[in-house]
């Protein structure tokens, strides 16, 4: 028993090799080709701006910045130890699809908790969906669960790189916090969509904790399901927008709020 405990501890130990491997993976994901280099430069601008907000921003800006870095940093940490975590999740006696949804939903709940907790630490409101965490999760989790459920369907139909999934996470948040949020908040205008597109790397850094861990830890199972199906034709980029269907109830609610 002691030997098993020791081996488990060693699996979680932070050897330099793990972090070197993660740095190498990030290098390939962000600088593997010209398009990825453009994404990395675009994202670097937002990282720099959020670092400035940590030092010179108001309380609202600092809450957003801290929350972003915590979510992004947690994604990197999960990636670093994904082999250990994958071994643990494989012991669950549930279907791969259910595991995927559970892992992604836990990431979503974690992100909501981070924004809510940072808001409490700074003594402000207006960043999290609601000052009450229970209400916050009640409002947001149906969308997240639907998004992650449909993301499983997307990935078991077409293969996507982790870089593509990272960007897709930002696109999904563009629809949720961006479009729906601006409509509900009464701030939607002719410059909203161009502004939100510019924010995609920012959104991606937050939503990564929802889409990357579940995709990385369930990669083998996703590939097995997809490879067992007949080859399909169609536009994989258009199909990747399937999770936006989960926003339909929110769009309806937002429209009713505007018309009311």
What is the distance between the alpha carbons of residues 195 and 181, in angstroms, rounded to a whole number? 13
Q: Is residue 152 part of a domain?
A: yes
What is the distance between the alpha carbons of residues 193 and 186, in angstroms, rounded to a whole number? 14
Q: Is residue 29 part of a domain?
A: no
What was the pLDDT predicted at 203?
Answer: 93
Q: pLDDT of the chain along its 260 residues, tens only?
A: 333 433 444 455 556 778 888 888 888 888 888 889 999 999 999 999 999 999 999 999 999 999 999 999 999 999 999 989 988 888 889 999 999 999 999 999 999 999 999 999 999 998 888 999 999 999 999 999 999 999 999 999 999 999 999 999 999 988 887 777 777 766 777 777 888 888 999 999 999 999 999 999 999 999 999 999 888 888 999 999 999 999 888 888 877 776 76
Q: Is residue 55 part of a domain?
A: no
Q: Is residue 14 part of a domain?
A: no
Question: Considering Cα of 102, then 105, then 111, then 115, what sign does the dihedral take?
Answer: negative
Domain count, the chain: 1
Q: Is residue 143 part of a domain?
A: yes
Nearest to 200 by CA among 222, 220, 178, 174: 174
Cα dist from 6 to 10, 77, 78, 186, whole Å: 6, 21, 21, 56
- Token pair, residue 75, equals 């994604």
What global pTM score does this model have? Answer: 0.88
What was the pLDDT predicted at 15?
Answer: 64
Q: Is residue 33 part of a domain?
A: no
Q: Is residue 25 part of a domain?
A: no
Q: Is residue 16 part of a domain?
A: no
DSSP line for 85-98: HHHHHTTS-S-HHH
Q: Are 43 and 205 in contact (CB under 8 A)?
A: yes
What was the pLDDT predicted at 9?
Answer: 40
Q: Which domain holds residue 103?
A: 69-259
Cα dist from 23 to 18, 53, 97, 147, 157, whole Å: 9, 25, 29, 29, 30
């Amino acid at each position: 028993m002691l030997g098993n405990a020791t081996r488990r501890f060693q699996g979680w130990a932070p050897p330099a090799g793990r972090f070197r491997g993660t740095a190498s993976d990030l290098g390939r994901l962000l600088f593997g080709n010209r398009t990825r280099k453009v994404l990395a430069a675009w994202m670097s601008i937002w990282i720099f701006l959020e670092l400035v907000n940590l030092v010179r921003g108001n309380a609202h800006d600092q809450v957003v910045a801290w929350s972003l870095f915590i979510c992004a940093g947690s994604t990197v940490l999960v990636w670093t130890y994904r082999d250990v975590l994958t071994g643990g999740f494989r012991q669950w006696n549930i279907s791969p699809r259910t595991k995927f949804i559970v892992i992604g939903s836990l990431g979503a709940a974690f992100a909501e908790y981070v924004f809510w907790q940072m808001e409490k630490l700074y003594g402000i409101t207006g960043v999290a969906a609601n000052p009450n965490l229970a209400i916050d999760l009640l409002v947001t989790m149906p969308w997240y669960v639907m998004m992650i459920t449909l993301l499983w369907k997307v990935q078991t139909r077409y293969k996507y790189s982790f870089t593509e999934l990272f960007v897709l996470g930002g696109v999904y948040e563009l629809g949720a916090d961006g479009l729906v949020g601006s409509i509900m908040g009464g701030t939607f205008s002719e410059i909203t969509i161009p502004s939100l597109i510019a924010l995609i790397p920012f959104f991606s850094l937050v939503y990564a904790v929802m889409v990357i861990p579940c995709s990385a830890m369930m990669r083998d199972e996703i590939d097995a399901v997809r490879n067992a199906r007949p080859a399909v034709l169609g536009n994989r980029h258009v199909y990747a927008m399937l999770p936006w269907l989960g926003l339909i109830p929110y769009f309806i609610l937002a429209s009713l709020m505007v018309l009311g």
